[in-house]
Amino acid sequence: MEKIICGIQQMGIGVPDVQEIWKWYRKFFGANICIFEDAAEAPLMTRYTGGTVHSRTATLALSMDGGGGFEIWQFTSRNTEKANFDIQLGDYGLYSCKIKSRDVDRTYAYFKANGADVLNEPEVGPNGELSFFVKDPNGNIFQVVKGTGWFSDTGHPSLCGTVAGSIIGVSDIEKALPFYRDILSYETIDYDETGTFDDLAALPQGKGQFRRVLLTHKEARKGPFARLLGPTRIELIQSIDRTDCKKIFENRFWGDWGFIHLCFDVQGMDALQKECEEKGFPFTLDSADTFDMGKAGGRFSYAEDPDGALIEFVETHKVPVMKKLGWYIHLKNRKPGKHLPNWMLRAMGMNKVKD
């Protein structure tokens, strides 16, 4: 089977309290659909957790408006550690999560009226579109951008969907491009600009000099959940004038405070593994067979970009629709690249969490 990148399945976020931050994500991003909640040990992740098996709880939440989900992840066997330095623009790794909006100005007004920690007014970026930045209560920075490819309209007052991409700090864009452009199939360079940027100025060290490359994909993503996950963008940012850039997760564990991984829903994992090896980005771990995540299951693997940012790949084998009724979507034997029917995707909306 050929490699198919179906879309961003979720952004992994390490938090000190899952329920507290998820309530905020429901209010501001509309991430009120629970795909799974699972508490267990993470024996396959010891490469990134100090060689020790740690326990955790994980919740996968998304919005029926569309976009990738959030895997909200909390250690239960140790404290969730923050970085011991102030993370700044240009540091290496997953710096910010892009969130899709139907109307950036109106989303900004909702966030302001409801007391969110908004960092700047909407500003025009190099692509001519408005965006703004907001911090969640844990200090993670999200960029609200113009959204496309909506799945449905739930009427959420923030006018948001969920994950539409990421800003990723890299030490050398030319070395990072083969990974993000070629392996992850973001084949289109929307812009490649170097200078200072008004839309970044409110960020820590955001008034410096940067090279920015925005990667997108021309073709709609294929695969069972592609219509729900929607189109996404990866923005690579390289500091030109900083000499003190650090890895965001330096001396910390995967699962600690912040954006821990960016996860892609894929098909054809064997072909993907072969390509990653050939291009110098071999899998650093691989579950090899179906791995159960509570009521969901699939094969998962990880690879690292040139600066060590963790990218997860999940080939989904089953996902719950109505757990109480034992209704699951089984995907292992479905035709590769085929969309699930919209009614089946909408049925996942029955797992809504109400406040």
Determine the pLDDT at residue 1: 84
Q: Which fold has domain 4-351?
A: 2,3-Dihydroxybiphenyl 1,2-Dioxygenase; domain 1 (3.10.180)
Helix, strand or coil, per DSSP, at residue 267: strand
105 vs 5: CA distance, rounded Å? 31
Determine the pLDDT at residue 24: 98
Determine the pLDDT at residue 327: 73
Condensed to tens digits (0 to 9), the pLDDT of residues 48-104 reads 999 999 999 999 999 999 999 999 999 999 999 999 999 999 999 999 999 999 999
Could you list the pLDDT tens digit for every one of the 355 residues in the chain?
A: 899 999 999 999 999 999 999 999 999 999 999 998 989 999 999 999 999 999 999 999 999 999 999 999 999 999 999 999 999 999 999 999 999 999 999 999 999 999 999 999 999 999 999 999 999 999 999 999 999 999 999 999 999 999 999 999 999 999 999 999 999 999 999 999 999 999 999 999 999 999 999 999 999 999 999 999 999 999 999 999 999 999 999 999 999 999 999 999 999 999 999 999 999 999 999 998 756 555 567 899 999 999 999 999 999 887 777 666 677 778 887 889 999 999 989 988 988 999 9
- DSSP secondary structure letters along 84-147: SS---TT-BEEEEEEEEES-HHHHHHHHHHTT-EE-S--EE-TTS-EEEEEE-TT--EEEEEE-
The most distant pair of C-alpha atoms in the chain lies apart, rounded to whole Å, by: 57
Condensed to tens digits (0 to 9), the pLDDT of residues 25-46 reads 999 999 999 998 989 999 999 9
CB count, 10 Å around CB of 343?
7
- Closest C-alpha to 142, from 109, 119, 113: 119
Give the domain ranges of the chain: 4-351
| Threshold 0.75, pTM exceeds | yes
What is the residue-averaged pLDDT of the chain? 94
For residue 327, list its beta bridge partners. 322
For residue 237, list its beta bridge partners. 169, 212
